[in-house]
Chain A
Amino acid sequence: MASATKLPLLEFKAGRCFRTTGTDTVKPDPTKGLVYLEEEDGLMHFFWKNRTSGEIEDDLILFPGDAELVAVPQCTTGRVVMLQFKSSSQKLFYWLQEVSTARDQIILQHVNSLIHSQEDEEEEYLDEDAAMGDVEAAPASESVSAIAPSAAFAPAAPVSTSTTNPTSTASAGAAAAGGSSLTAQQMDQLRHLLGGLQVPQTAQRSNLRLDHILTPGAVAPLLNNPEICAALFPHLPESSERTPEEIQAIVRTPQFSQALVSLSTALESGQLGPLLRQFGLGPNAGNGVEGFLSAIQEQAKKDKK
């Protein structure tokens, strides 16, 4: 077989994504991995190696022009890529784990040019190889996958019904607060990744937002309860009167609706775990609007007991 000293033509850090059975949705697997291309016996091999165990788990032979690595258009961050074959319907999904997104495009181009012109001399790639060197030189990613619990990725999965998966408890934010050493940049990456991982044709998000629930009509009856009003007063803007009428007026403002919409967006992004802990909510609260609501309900039940 190939000599041990042989250098890969190209490598980049990437994890794998797997299709959730029965859906068109892919979920990223948090395992750290490395994709690399090597020529063996005149054939181009596409490898995926588990960076934790060191085991090669994917080994595919790519024939010139038969395969293509493309960004998944439904992934808004562009970090989920798909290796597709012209001669078969096989598709393999990966998510880029390089710290910097700056070279994502170059990686794709480079892989594709290797696949398309395997006969070409290597000099042609010298320039790009230099660029790739940069990527490798970037601060070694104890990349996003460093936050081990796979549940951390759960919010990314499009929820097909209106109830969230009760086992996917840890939100990204909560995981970060739980002592893992994520840098802000990695958090950002994760956040982008979480935001971008849906394949919309079949994924039916509930699209439930807090402004669908907290309509002025829904809040009004609550304001007959002086105890609840007293709990709400401290959270009104300073200059506001402390009256039920004022609360009702505020609930009708576009600014309040806007706040409901943006909080919903933030909840869906799964990044609010630490913030929500301030309210004594369970870890599930960071898991989308539905998770937030059910955490509040659980809390209320507990309080009653």
Chain B
Amino acid sequence: MSDTGNWCLIESDPGVFTGLIKGIGVQGLQVEEIYSIDKETLEDLKPVHGLIFLFKWQGRDPASATNQAPIEYENPDVFFAQQVITNACATQAILSILLNSRTIELGEELTNFKAFVSDFPAEIKGHAISNSEVIRAVHNSFSRSDPFINEMSDPTSKEKEDLFHFIAYTPINGCLYELDGLQEGPRNHGPAPGDSWLEKVGPIIQERMARYEGGEIRFNLMAVVDDRIKVYQEKVATHEEQLKALQEKEGPEAGAWLKGEIENLRGDIVKEEGKREKQARENKLRRHNFIPLIYEILKGLAQEEGRLEGLVEEGRTRAKAETESAKQRKAASAAAGGGSEDVDMYE
């Protein structure tokens, strides 16, 4: 786990993950962040290929204590890789879902990769991921442009090395599996035919969250789903056919409900397109080197008499206030037995 090699930190962000999946040659998928694991949310996102549960935690994993689904050490139907480098964890979680799916079109790159590693033991599979040039290159293309970011600790997390972890949940051969790269093998949570795994997984994740309660944990849940626009378009097409059939039978005024549905779906498509545009823009900004821009802005401010001096003064006041409030928070969280600051980065 210590060899981070040349794997950069990437942000835990649905736009980044979606781009990553596309980058390794898998079409027709996207990643959605979900904020609750209730039935409606998941129902709405179907078909769901898998869930990625990311969290930051300190200390031991209480899950290893009791009440565990059994580990399957030898199951040729399950792709399981042990996590050997920390920074690749998000990518590895995604791969755990992609490579176990029977329905996702993997594309040439991943198909070859899967064939290549299929007979390897879990640990070697983990190394194979970390050594894959293509996967690494795609992963790193989503890192921030700053040339120095890898070499330094985040100023906000200086005191404690933050630990991040992921778990992938995905259905394989009619059973719900938990793929955790820090475990020795995949955990089988039992039979869950069809989409029923989505009902089964909710309580498992909730129970897991509950076990961490009070320990200053941040959770993040993402779903690997089909391209939403395609899903909506297909639904529109189906509804339109139904509407046509209905209107032929009952006249042009019939099917108000279907019309409304179609309207809603078109609205969803527009929303989704807007979201994608935003994500594409964010990904571009992530890769942009802002140093020259920052320099030019500061220079512009310095050229206007006294402007920069004044702003620096204000900045100092702000910095001081921030330091003070951080101290207070720290004291409060120490009193509450808590841990460190929030950092919105995942490995």
Contact = CB atoms under 8 A, between A and B. Distances in A.
B298 A293 contact: yes
B323 A207 contact: yes
Nearest to B280: A239
A222 B297 CA distance: 8
A207 B319 contact: yes
Interface stretch (A24-32, A91-99, A213-221): A213-221
A183 interface: no
Contacts of B194: none
B155 A261 contact: yes
A155 to B, nearest CB: 14
Most buried by B among A228, A260, A262: A262
Contacts of B335: none
A212 interface: yes
Given A212-B319, A239-B284, A259-B291, A76 B158 contact: yes
A208 B285 contact: no
A262 to B, nearest CB: 5
Interface in A239-279: 239, 250-251, 253, 255-256, 258-266, 268-269, 271-272, 275, 279
Interface residues of B, number: 45
Interface stretch (B34-42, B120-128, B142-150, B232-240): B142-150
Interface string B277-312: 000011011101011111111111111100111011
Given A213-B314, A293-B308, A236 B293 contact: yes
A212 B316 contact: yes
Contacts of A263: 146, 290-291, 294
Contact of A222 (B146, B284, B304, B315): B304
A213 B311 contact: yes
Given A195-B152, A212-B319, A266-B148, A255 B288 contact: yes
A4 interface: no
Contacts, number: 136
B151 interface: yes
B208 interface: no
A269 B146 CA distance: 14
A299 interface: yes
B119 interface: no
A94 B312 CA distance: 36
A260 B289 CA distance: 11
A237 B285 contact: yes
A214 B304 CA distance: 15
B152 A260 contact: no
A263 to B, nearest CB: 6
Given A208-B319, A297-B302, A260 B144 contact: no
A258 B149 CA distance: 11
A231 B288 contact: no
Interface string A220-231: 001001001001
Chain B binding site: helix, strand, loop or mixed by DSSP? helix
A275 B291 contact: yes
Chain A binding site: helix, strand, loop or mixed by DSSP? helix
A235 B298 CA distance: 13
Most buried by B among A162, A213, A218: A213
B186 to A, nearest CB: 35
B322 interface: yes
A304 B297 CA distance: 17
Contact of B299 (A258, A264, A266, A300): A300
B320 interface: yes
B316 A269 contact: no
Contacts of B319: 206-209, 212
Contacts of A275: 291
B259 interface: no
A222 B294 contact: no
Contacts of A271: 148
B271 interface: no
A297 B298 CA distance: 9
Contacts of A260: 290, 294
B322 A232 contact: no
B312 A232 contact: no
B312 A293 contact: yes
B9 to A, nearest CB: 11
B299 A299 contact: yes
Contacts of A300: 299, 302-303, 308
B296 A231 contact: yes
B316 A222 contact: no
A76 B153 CA distance: 11
Contact of B316 (A162, A214, A239, A261): A162
Contacts of A235: 290, 292-293, 296
Contacts of B318: 212
Interface string B206-244: 000000000000000000000000000000000000000
B274 to A, nearest CB: 15
18 contacts: A191-B151, A206-B319, A207-B319, A208-B315, A208-B319, A209-B155, A212-B314, A212-B315, A219-B297, A231-B300, A253-B282, A260-B290, A260-B294, A266-B148, A271-B148, A279-B295, A293-B298, A297-B309
Interface of B: 144-146, 148-149, 151-155, 158, 281-282, 284-286, 288, 290-304, 307-309, 311-312, 314-316, 318-320, 322-323
